[in-house]
Amino acid sequence: MKAAQVSDIVYLNGDWVTGNNAKVSVFDRGFLFADGVYEVIPVYQRRPFLPELHIQRLQRSADAIGIAPITTEFWHQLVLDLINRNNLDDGLVYIQLTFGADSQRSHLPTQPLTPTIYASLSPLSVHWNTPKPVKVAVLEDIRWHRCDIKSISLLGNIMLKREAAKRGAIEPLLHRDGRITEGASCNYFMVKQGRLYTPPADHLILAGITRTWVIQLAQQLAIEVHEEALNVNELQHVDEVFLTSSSREVQPVGQIDDIIVGNGQCGTITAQIAEAFHASKRHLIQE
């Protein structure tokens, strides 16, 4: 039995090599300045889930930091090639795109650069039943104001995730001046009197693809959705909370710091949405 690991074959700047043999220059702007963006796409039974939305977001992030556009066809083919070259049914495609390698460390590039493109596939344990509720910790959002860009600079996110872990929580639940934003690597949804609330997709959050999909599923289920940031004070009065991300899918939250959400179990609306989410994965696989 092989231990979980990053894919055997990764893509780096036009080459297909084993992960250990993929080498990037120390002058790469991604390494020196985190001058790059990334994307993560779930793969179920060798089929990418919502690839168009993920690739659009990658293009938007690249555009926001000034990397010249790369064709949509290139990205789609890269995802398919990664799946074909690796022996993994369920996984997460990771794509990283940096501004490229210069000949020295300089805040502004000293010459026109070719972007560095790296992609790998790592194992994913897919949920087919709703997972057990988890605990999250309320923390102040200390990150920059362009969280809409999927930047490889994740220092703020990682510091917050470490602090949450110290408090026995799997994720922070972040806020700015009391207004809820998101997690370190997920979006949040709250249910209050049968309505679903999630913070708006502005510059303060990353508009998750799972979030977009969940909003659509909720609308199909005739659940009212409000893209509105709740205040942390309101957390005492919410009936259900769940978080979403490509790797966690729809994850019920049973506890926020010392507050038990509802009865601490997965709520009915969360369960309905999680089931609709599993159904869309089954649909993809059967297509």
Closer by beta carbon to ligand PMP, 38 or else 99: 38
Helix pair angle (268-286, 209-220), 10° resolution: 110
Residue 161 annotated to the active site: no
Residue number with CB closer to ligand PMP (59 or 187): 187
Rg for the chain (alpha carbons), in Å? 19
Q: Where are the alpha helices (DSSP H) in 111-267?
A: 155-166, 209-220
Residue 198 within binding range of ligand PMP, rule CB under 6 A:
no
Query: Which member of 9, 40, 119, 241 binds ligand PMP (CB under 6 A)?
Result: 40
Q: In the window 160-189, what residues touch ligand PMP (CB under 6 A)?
A: 182, 185-187
Query: Residue 126 interacts with ligand PMP (CB under 6 A)?
Result: no
**Residue placing its CB nearer to ligand PMP in the complex, 149 or 223:** 149
**Contact flag: residue 245 with ligand PMP (CB under 6 A):** yes
Residue 163 vs residues 45, 63, 136, 184, 253: alpha-carbon distances, Å: 35, 32, 11, 11, 18
Q: What's the token pair of residue 13?
A: 């700047």
Is position 244 an interface residue for ligand PMP (rule: CB under 6 A)? yes
Least distance CB 1 / ligand PMP (angstroms): 28
By C-beta, is 148 or 275 nearer to ligand PMP? Answer: 148
Least distance from C-beta 185 to ligand PMP, angstroms? 4
Residue 206 CB, shortest distance to ligand PMP, in Å, is 4
Length in residues, the chain: 287
- Which residue's CB atom is positioned nearest to ligand PMP? 208
Cα separation, 36 vs 219, in Å, equals 34
Helix or strand (DSSP H, E) at 285: helix 268-286
Q: Active site residue: 2, 23, 150, 192, which one?
A: 150
Instruction: Evaluate whether 54 touches 39 at the Cβ level (below 8 Å).
Output: yes
Q: Name the one range near ligand PMP by CB under 6 A: 134-142, 216-224, 242-250, 254-262.
A: 242-250
Ranges within 211-230 binding ligand PMP (CB under 6 A): 211
Our finding on whether 35 is near ligand PMP (CB under 6 A) is no
Q: Does 98 bind ligand PMP (CB under 6 A)?
A: no
Q: Which residues of 192-203 are buried (b: 16+ CB within 10 A; e: fewer)?
A: eeeebbbbebee
C-beta separation of 163 from 198 below 8 A: no
The residues that are catalytic are: 150
